[in-house]
Amino acid sequence: MLYCLSQLPQYPFQGVTIMSELRVRFAPSPTGYLHVGGARTALFNWLLARKQGGTFILRIEDTDVERSTKESVDAILEGMKWLGLDWDEGPFYQSDSFPLYKEYVRKLLDAGKAYKCYCTSEELDAKRNLAMQEGRKPKYDGTCRERADQPEGQPYVVRFRAPQGGVTAFDDLIKGTITFPNEELDDLIIQRTDGTPTYNFCVVIDDATMRITTVIRGDDHVNNTPRQIQLYEALGFPVPQFAHVPMILGADKARLSKRHGATSVISYRDMGYLPEALLNYLVRLGWSHGDDEIFSSEEMIQKFDIGNVGRSASVFNTEKLNWLNAHYIKTGDPARLAGLLLPHLSAHEVTTLNGPDLMAVVKTLQERAQTLEEMAERAVFYYNAPVSYDEAALAKFDKELLLAVFAAVTEKLASAPLGDVAGIDALFKEVCTENSWKMGQVGQPVRIALSGGTQAPGIGEIVVTLGVDETIRRIQKAREHAAGK
RNA sequence: GUCCCCUUCGUCUAGCCUGGCCCAGGACACCGCCCUUUCACGGCGGCGACACCGGUUCAAAUCCGGUAGGGGACGCCA
């Protein structure tokens, strides 16, 4: 029965918001970069909005003035933009709405639905520790809940007077019905001693005033949901739908964190991943559409269904991301890839000014690189002629053979007009038959001469890309190297 | 400790709602073979899972109960 709701792909909001337009939001707190978990949450929100013609709102939750930074905000926006997750409204900043929150705190206070609490954090900490030690749930004991006196000039926090007894339940779009006994929930603080509002309260006010219809957020917020629902009800706001997406874990099944390697979206860009690859990887983490693996943005939008998101956490697997990235590099537009490759090339001290056409270079490397970084590494030899050779590989051939091969190839190349890849390949075959050499005896030495090593594109591709003149120059150099041994 | 959630190949997952088509399908990784002048790409094949125990049923990965394991939350952080 729990599945019924989520198994109606076309009508996920049937009977609840059927008339109103979908409004979703991504609400990161600017205390770090946009990490892959956040990016996936943003993606699911974006997908649903785009699919249903709804509105995607970006809201920055910066009520913690201490830890929020402008740099983090910029980093988050940069990550969103790189992934192509465009938003329709915002970014809104919670720090701009403090007066609004205060107003609602006032309302709850006036209505007796909230009260001032004069307990100090030291007292609270002590009680909490004691409760934990005794194996009880560490919840506020309600000391100030019914107190009549209001000590003048004493610092206080404002607590929400939570309903006691009964249960608070909701139908999660991903997890099904979740029920909490109200006795598990204590009177949460909605305003701090310094007068600033707290997270759970701001979220409710914002989601309500922004008319959010569906809250899609991380799994770690499930426990906050019943308290928020109680606030919605106390405030007289309609309760939105909730969808809690499972966490992303590291290989050791612990929550993904820096020690598992890169978690920042931007660091994936810098390592040479394509945004469409990361997006594709992220959408398949916890969600699937039959046996499909490759999704363009359009296909994701078309096929996405929040009800098909899995209920369990998933492990982030770089191998699969690599495969996806290789796929998009393989099928990508060479001109675009060339542009994206530039920064990686300069990191390897390569200038493309005096060398082969970069787009031609990219074409020879598309099937050979998993990341742009790897492609850059493999492209270096095109622009910087080898200064040393893979001696171990060279040692497999006699000095005499080497010299003969280099001479024959040079001669053949010099006498023939520059052809296409097939033409050059044919030319090498001729050299082989004319001298009774095997292709391995010719191709490998030439490859080493041209690239310095043994791992490179096909000989024909290299020669055509490099040009005959440069090819001959490099073979000549290798010939001298071989002669000197 | 208390509460909430989760559990299909090493990993991502299909199937579960509507039991039989599933001695469980696909993908990544891994192994082997083929292609091949290197490295790759590609093709073919292999390895490999229903956490466990009971129950219901002619029949259970699918329904019910329990157990174990994992994760999350428990803050004047978000």
| Tens of pLDDT, residue by residue, chain A (485 residues) | 222 322 323 333 333 444 469 999 999 999 889 999 999 999 999 999 999 999 999 999 998 888 889 999 999 999 999 999 999 998 999 999 999 999 999 999 999 999 999 888 888 888 888 877 776 778 888 888 888 777 778 899 999 999 988 899 999 999 999 999 998 899 999 999 999 999 999 999 999 999 999 999 999 999 999 999 999 999 999 999 999 999 999 988 888 888 887 889 999 999 999 999 999 999 999 999 999 999 999 999 999 999 999 999 999 999 999 999 999 999 999 999 999 999 999 999 999 888 899 999 999 999 999 999 999 999 999 999 999 999 999 988 988 999 999 999 999 888 877 778 988 998 999 899 999 899 999 999 999 999 999 999 999 999 999 999 999 999 999 999 988 87
**Whole-number pLDDT of residue A417:** 74
Protein-to-nucleotide distance from the CA of A284 to the C1' of B11, whole angstroms? 13
Residue A238 gets which letter from DSSP?
P
pLDDT at A20: 66
Q: Which amino acid is at A187?
A: D
Q: Active-site residue A303, yes or no? A: no
Place of tokens 């075959």: A429
Identify, with chain letter, the residue nearest to nucleotide B27 (CA–C1'): A293
**A178 burial type by CB count under 10 A (0-12 exposed, 13-18 middle, 19+ buried):** middle
Answer yes or no: is A223 CB < 7 A from strand B: yes
pTM: 0.91
Q: How many CB atoms lie within 10 A of CB A84?
A: 12
Report chain A's terminal Cα–Cα distance, integer Å. 80
- Nucleotide minimizing C1' to CA distance for residue A202: B78
Asked whether A77 and A117 are in contact (CB, 8 A), the reply is no
Biggest CA pair distance of chain A: 107
* Interatomic CA–C1' length for residue A136 and nucleotide B4, angstroms: 16
Instruction: Scan residues 45-64 of chain A and list those with Cβ within 7 Å of strand B.
Output: 61-64
The predicted structure's pLDDT at residue A15: 38
Catalytic one of A70, A139, A253, A258? A258
Q: In the 407-466 stretch of chain A, whose C-beta falls under 7 Å of nucleic acid strand B?
A: 425, 428, 439-440, 443-444, 447, 454-460
Q: Computed from CA positions of residues A396, A401, A403, A408, in that sequence, does the dihedral angle turn out positive or negative?
A: negative
Q: How are beta strands A55-60 and A89-93 bridged, if at all? A: parallel
Task: Write down the residue that tokens 């030439």 correspond to.
Answer: A446
Q: Which residues pair with A180 in a beta bridge?
A: A168
pLDDT at A327: 98
**Residue A282 host element (H or E):** helix A275-284
What pLDDT is attached to residue A74?
95
Provide the CA A17 to C1' B21 distance, Å, integer: 39
Q: What is the pLDDT of residue A63?
A: 84
Q: Tokens 């080497």, residue?
A: A402
**Could you say which nucleotides of strand B lie within 7 A of any protein CB atom?**
1-8, 10-14, 17-18, 25-29, 36-41, 70-78
Cα gap A19→A13, rounded to integer Å: 10
User: Which residues in window 298-337 of A are less than 7 A from strand B by Cβ?
Assistant: 308, 310-315, 317, 319-320, 322-323, 326, 330
Residue whose CA is minimally distant from B12 C1': A285
